[in-house]
Structure 1
Amino acid sequence: MRLTLYLSHIVTILCALHTIDACTVCTNESPEPITYSPAPWTLKGTIYSFFLLPGVGIPLFGGLPVKAFPPLERQYPEAIAGNYKGILGMIQVIRYTESPVGPYDELLIVPGFFGYPGPDGSEITNVRVSRIYVSQKYTAWNGRVNWNIPKHLARFDWTSDVNGGESVKIYPFDTSGDPYESGPSAKPFFQMSFSPLLNGILQIPFSTDLYGILGINLTLVQPPVPQGQDVFGAIAGTSTSKSVVPGQSSDRTTFGTINLSQAGGDGEETGFNAVGDEYFPNFWPGLLSTNVGLRMEDATITFSEPVVWSV
C-alpha cells in the first residue's frame, strides 16, 4: 500500500515537472525541449478545405507532380512508396487554437488514395498525407514520431478582411535548398484566399463521419519517414508503417470560394523552385483559380492511436 502511494506521488511529481517544462505558446524559438506527446490527440481550430476530384486535381492519366512529396522524403524510396490510385483527395489549411503541443498552423496535402502492403502483407488502399507544413517544431516532431506524418516547418502569414474572408501565404523552411531547414523561403510555396458565402451568416453542422456513411475510408496509411538535419531537431525519422484514423467536426461550417492564384509565388519566373517543385498558376495541376471550399470554425479534430507494422 505504501509502495503504491509512493509511486503515485512520483508520477504526480513527474507530470508536474512535464507541465512546467512544456511551452504554452510554442514557437521555433521557444527554449523548452521537444517532448513526446503520445496519441491519441484531440485539438480545436478552424479548418479550410477544398477537394481534389478526377480531372480537377486528380490526374486522369499519369502520376503525381514532384511537389506532392517534400524534398527530404523524395530522397528515400520507402518514404514515398505506394501505388497511386487517385480517386479523391483534399488540401486543407488548419489554424489549431488548442493542441497537446500548443497552437499552430498547418497546410496538408492528401493527393488521393494509394495501394500499400498492409499489416498482413496483402494490399490495402487508403489515403495518405504526402506533404505537410506546420508552424512550430513541437508538432513537427510529434507528428512524425506518432503517425509518420511527414511534417516540415513553415512560416504562415495571415490577413483578414471586413467581410469575414481570410488569406494566407506559406513560406516553407525546406524549399530554398538549405538542408538544415533553418529559415523560411523568400517567396510563398502556397497562397490562398477564402471568401465565405453571404458573409458567413449561413452556418451548418458538418462532420467527417459523413464520409464513412458514403463508404469512403479516411484512415491514413503513412510509410516511415526519414531523419532530417534541421537545426531545430524537429525532423525525426521512423522505421515502421503506421495508420491513423482522423476526425473533424464543427457546428459552424460555412461554404465559400477559395482563390488559388499563385501570382508572385516561388518558382513563377522559372517554372520550378530551388528544390524542383513545379510552379502551377493555381498551385496544383488541374485546379481552377476559384474553387468551392469549406470553413469549419470551432472544429474538433482528433487523431487516434496508430496501428504499427513492419515494412
Structure 2
Amino acid sequence: MANEYGIEHVPGPWECVGESWWFTCYPLGGNKNNVRGASHPLDFHEGANDSFYGGIGMIMIVRYTSTPVGPYDELLYVPGYYNTPHASGSRYRITNIYVSSKETTYNGRRNWNIPKHLAVFNFDKSETTGQTKITVAHPETPDNPFFVAVIKDIPIVSKIGVPLSTSLFPMNLEFHQPNIKAVDTPEGKANGETGTETWQSFQPWMGGKARFVQCVDIKNGNGDGTWPDQVDGVWGAVLRWDPGMKLKFPAGTELPKSNL
C-alpha cells in the first residue's frame, strides 16, 4: 500500500547486489575540517554535524542491480567520524547522498536517516581509451554535473581481483545518523524526501571481489552548497568492487532523541 508520498514503505533489513567504486579521502596532514557542502543544506537540523572528529573519509559510487526497491545508482559522501551522544567513541556518518530512484530516497530516509536526494547518473565507457566517465547531476540541470570522475584500469594491477569483505576492515563501520528534516516543497514530497524524529544506528556489510583502479580526473561541486566543492586528500587509487558485490543493510536501531 502506498504511503502519503505515493511510495511503498519497505523496511530493513535489505540485501542488495551491484558494483561499486570507493574513493578514499584522507589528506597527508590528517582530516580535521568539515567543508561547505559536506551535508545538504535542507536535511539536518542546526548543529547536527558540528561534532566532526575526522579520520578517513570516502566517496562511494554504487550501481545496484538488485534491491528490495529495484535497481538504482548512488553517490554518497562520508566525511569521516563524528562524535555522537549515543556512544563513548566517534562513529561514521553519511552526510550527503544522491540516488536515481524516489523509492530508495523515501525508504533510505525513513529506515536509516540516510538523507537521500534524486539525481541523474551517467556511466560512459570509452572503447577507445578504456576509461569510464561517471557523472551525477541535479534533475533540473542534467547537462551540468556537480560530480564527475574519470576512471581507468592500472596496468597489471587492475587485473588482480581478490575476495574481500568489510568484516576484514580495521575501522569501526557502525553509522550513527541524526534525525533529518522533511523537504517541505512539492518536489521534495513527490520525490519521497521525508523526515524523521529520532537517531538511527546501523552497520552495513559489503563483500565480493575487489581490485584497484585509478582515478585520473575528478570534479566536486557546482558552488551551490548541495555537494562539497573541494574534497581534500582524494587518493588516486580507487577500490573497485566487481559486479556481483553483495551489500547487507540491517534494520536500523532507533536511538534516543538528542539536542544535537
Please give the range of the TM-score, normalised by the shorter of the 2 chains: 0.7 to 0.9
Structure 2 residue 41 is the aligned partner of structure 1 residue 71: yes
**Match of 2:138?**
172
**Match of 1:279?**
229
Larger Rg: 1 or 2?
Answer: 1
Question: Do the aligned partners of 2:24 and 2:234 also contact (CA within 8 Å) in 1?
Answer: no
Going from structure 1 to structure 2, the CA distance change for 1:234 and 1:115 (only over 3 Å counts) comes to: same
Structure-2 separation of matches of 1:123 and 1:47: 31
Residue identity opposite 1:81 in structure 2: N
**Superposition map of 1:85-124 within 5 A:** 85-118=53-86, 123-124=88-89
**Match of 1:198?**
155
Q: Deviations over 1:231-273 (max 9, x none)?
A: 524101001000011111113x1211013332xx764xxxx23
**Match of 2:249?**
303
Residue identity opposite 1:219 in structure 2: E
**Match of 1:24?**
none
- Bigger strand fraction: 2
Structure-2 separation of matches of 1:308 and 1:82: 21
Q: Percent identity?
A: 29
Structure 2 residue 16 is the aligned partner of structure 1 residue 43: yes
Question: Do the aligned partners of 2:147 and 2:218 also contact (CA within 8 Å) in 1?
Answer: no
Structure-2 separation of matches of 1:84 and 1:105: 27
Select the structure with the greater relative contact order (CA < 8 A; seq sep ≥ 6).
2
Residue identity opposite 2:99 in structure 1: V
What is the CA distance between 1:194 and its match in structure 2? 1.6
Structure-2 separation of matches of 1:164 and 1:245: 35
- 1:198 is paired with a residue of what secondary structure? coil
Structure-1 separation of matches of 2:59 and 2:221: 19
Residue identity opposite 1:206 in structure 2: L
Structure 2 residue 177 is the aligned partner of structure 1 residue 222: yes
What is the CA distance between 1:287 and its match in structure 2? 3.5
Going from structure 1 to structure 2, the CA distance change for 1:308 and 1:231 (only over 3 Å counts) comes to: closer
**Match of 2:125?**
160
**Match of 1:147?**
112
Question: Do the aligned partners of 1:155 and 1:172 also contact (CA within 8 Å) in 2?
Answer: yes
What is the CA distance between 1:65 and its match in structure 2? 0.9
Residue identity opposite 1:98 in structure 2: S
Which of residues 52, 71, 92 in structure 2 aligns to 1:84? Answer: 52
Question: Do the aligned partners of 2:38 and 2:228 also contact (CA within 8 Å) in 1?
Answer: no
Residue identity opposite 1:195 in structure 2: K
Question: Do the aligned partners of 2:112 and 2:202 also contact (CA within 8 Å) in 1?
Answer: yes
Consecutive aligned runs of 4 or more in structure 1 exceeding 6 Å deviation: none
Structure-1 separation of matches of 2:229 and 2:137: 14
Q: Deviations over 1:114-139 (max 9, x none)?
A: 00100xxx544100111000001000
Question: Do the aligned partners of 1:155 and 1:184 also contact (CA within 8 Å) in 2?
Answer: no
For structure 1, the residue ranges without an aligned partner over 5 or more in a row are: 1-17, 22-31, 174-182
Going from structure 1 to structure 2, the CA distance change for 1:302 and 1:98 (only over 3 Å counts) comes to: same
Question: Do the aligned partners of 2:31 and 2:55 also contact (CA within 8 Å) in 1?
Answer: no
Structure-1 separation of matches of 2:133 and 2:13: 30
Going from structure 1 to structure 2, the CA distance change for 1:107 and 1:266 (only over 3 Å counts) comes to: closer
Structure-1 separation of matches of 2:138 and 2:216: 20
Question: Do the aligned partners of 1:82 and 1:116 also contact (CA within 8 Å) in 2?
Answer: no
What is the CA distance between 1:193 and its match in structure 2? 1.5
TM-score, length-scaled by structure 1: 0.73
Going from structure 1 to structure 2, the CA distance change for 1:277 and 1:159 (only over 3 Å counts) comes to: closer
Going from structure 1 to structure 2, the CA distance change for 1:307 and 1:47 (only over 3 Å counts) comes to: same
Question: Do the aligned partners of 2:175 and 2:201 also contact (CA within 8 Å) in 1?
Answer: yes
